[in-house]
Amino acid sequence: MDTECVVCGRSIDSEDPSETGYGDETVAPAQVEYDGKTYLLCRDSCRRTFEEDPEAYA
């Protein structure tokens, strides 16, 4: 299944996070629940961005 990060639009491959293109950065797909729905984020910094202004992305 092809899933995109709701913040930056990168595709998220949860089975192989190294494929997200961040090189040697530590990449861990994240998810956050907002307004009863679960949103997927490609990494923790995107999760923080979402949480700062969730209505912009939800």
Q: Which residues bind Zn ion (CB under 5 A)?
A: 5, 7-8, 42, 46
Closer residue to Zn ion, CB minimum distance, 15 or 30: 30
Give the three-state DSSP class for 39: strand
Residue 36 C-beta: closest distance to Zn ion, Å: 22
Nearest distance, CB of residue 55 and Zn ion, angstroms: 17
Per 3-state DSSP, the chain is made up of helix, strand and coil in percentages (nearest 5) of 30, 25, 50
Q: Residue 4 phi/psi, 5° resolution?
A: -110, 145
Q: Which is nearer to Zn ion, 5 or 32 (CB)?
A: 5
